[in-house]
Homo-oligomer: A and B are copies of this chain.
Amino acid sequence: MHDFRSDNVAGAAPEVMTALATASTGQAAPYGNDALTARVTERLSAIFETQVAVFPVATGTAANALALSALAPPFGAIYCHEEAHITVDECGAPEFFTGGAKLVPLPGAHGKLTPDTVARAVARAGVGVVHKVQPSALSLTQATEAGTVYRPDEVEALVEVAHAGGMAVHMDGARFANAVARLGCAPAALTWKAGVDVLTLGGTKGGCLAAEAVVFFNPAMAEDFGYARKRGGHLVSKTRFLSAQLDAWLADELWLRLSGHANTMADRLAAGLGKLPGVVLEYPVEANELFVRLPESTIAALEAAGFGFYRWDDGLVRLVTAFDTPATSVDAFLKIASGT
């Protein structure tokens, strides 16, 4: 039975595997001085319609923590949603890479922050007061941990508050592809045109084996990033193997097609579940994650049938679809859920 626990239980997209095999022969300069890595930067510059500085790494935790370390000093405060992966699920990686900056979790409905919440937090922060950690970065998760998506104008409004408070803006884009695929907008509109300073663009959940890109829209901010990445053990010697994945994934909008499929499967799940009595979708389904309240008997039946998913809370389960989730698996799940 299908495992809906996370999009990281999926394998790799065939196109990515093929590219990797192609890249595996012959000699190439190490540490990112290869042609594939250069091409990834070109592709991302084209996709984002501006010259970007790109640093491939192997994990999202590294991408986020390193990006934040470029924005926040050790005495900095990093604001994020209280459910953000960076504060909940990375065992303190941002604290480690920043040299001990403080993550300040903020509440927000549907996994989203609002400008007011951020503004109030900064107003209380004690800017310039030596006893207080100093507002340095705002981190937005796109798509959010609740499976919702910020619109460009929402990002823009949050950035405005952040920049006014002297903070740089980081976007945790582990599922950025799903957000773009959903909104159908230009990647630039969701990021630098709305003021985002650095994006961690996740390829792993979207069809790569292990490949993320830290994308700086203002290359000047990346001045010391190479040292931080090396020092963190995240400069892969045969970087071509990270870049080959990203290159294939970004080519011909494969990244959007793959994440679009995941979104469609989430919609299919949502549509099917939404019809069932006693079933409540906790949040709007805007990416590839669903949080659903199900009767305990339904949950038990699904578990008994061998489906994988997380019990998030009493009666609340999380379902995640992926680039390779078969519609048949969704339908099989819905069949059990409907008790038919």
Chain B nearest CB, measured from A24 CB (Å): 4
Q: What chain B residues lie within 8 Å of A28 (beta carbons)?
A: 9, 11
Check B230–A93 contact: CB distance below 8 A: yes
Copies in the complex: 4
Tell me whether B231 and A74 are in contact (CB under 8 A): yes
Contact A131 B236, CB 8 Å, known A25-B11, A92-B102, A95-B95:
no
Interchain CB contact (< 8 A) of A131 among B17, B63, B134, B230: B230
A59→B93 contact, CB < 8 A: no
Which of A17, A57, A65, A237 has most chain B Cβ within 10 Å?
A237
- Given A8-B30, A11-B28, A99-B99, answer yes or no on A238-B204 (Cβ-Cβ < 8 Å): yes
Contact A131 B74 (CB under 8 A): no
Contact A66 B233 (CB under 8 A): yes
Q: How large is the interface on A (under 10, 10 to 19, 20 to 34, 35 or more residues)?
A: 35 or more
The answer to whether the Cβ of A58 comes within 8 Å of any Cβ in the partner chain is: yes
> In the docked arrangement, what's the CA distance between A93 and B132, Å?
10
Restricting to A138-173, which residues have a CB under 8 Å from any CB of B?
Answer: none
Q: How far is the CA of A6 from the CA of B25 in the complex (A)?
A: 15
- Tell me if A91 is interfacial: C-beta within 8 Å of chain B: yes
A96 on the interface (CB 8 Å rule)?
yes
Whether the Cβ atoms of A2 and B17 lie closer than 8 Å is no
Give residues in A with beta carbon < 8 Å to B.
Answer: 2-3, 6, 8-12, 14, 17, 20-21, 23-31, 57-63, 65-66, 73-75, 88-93, 95-103, 130-134, 204-205, 209-210, 224, 226-238, 241-242
Q: Within the assembled complex, what's the spacing in Å between the Cα atoms of A61 and B31?
A: 12
Known: A233-B66, A233-B234. A11 touches B30 (CB 8 A): no
Partner of A210, one of B26, B93, B224, B238: B238
Q: Is the CB of A90 within 8 A of B130?
A: no
Contact B92 A74 (CB under 8 A): yes
* Contact status A237-B11, CB under 8 Å: no
Given A20-B20, A209-B241, also A130-B226 (CB < 8 A):
yes
Residue of B nearest to A59 (CB): B233
A145 CB, min distance to chain B CBs, angstroms:
13
Q: Is the CB of A9 within 8 A of B24?
A: no
Which residue, of A75, A205, A234, has the highest number of chain B Cβ atoms within 10 A? A75
The answer to whether B234 and A62 have CB atoms under 8 Å apart is yes
Q: Which B residues touch A6, using CB under 8 A?
A: 30
Q: Give the distance in Å from the alpha carbon of A28 to the alpha carbon of B75 in the complex.
A: 27
A77 closest partner in B (C-beta): B92
A321 to B101, CA, bound (A): 33
Alpha-carbon separation in the docked complex, A43 to B96 (Å):
33
Beta-carbon contact of B27 and A230 below 8 Å: no
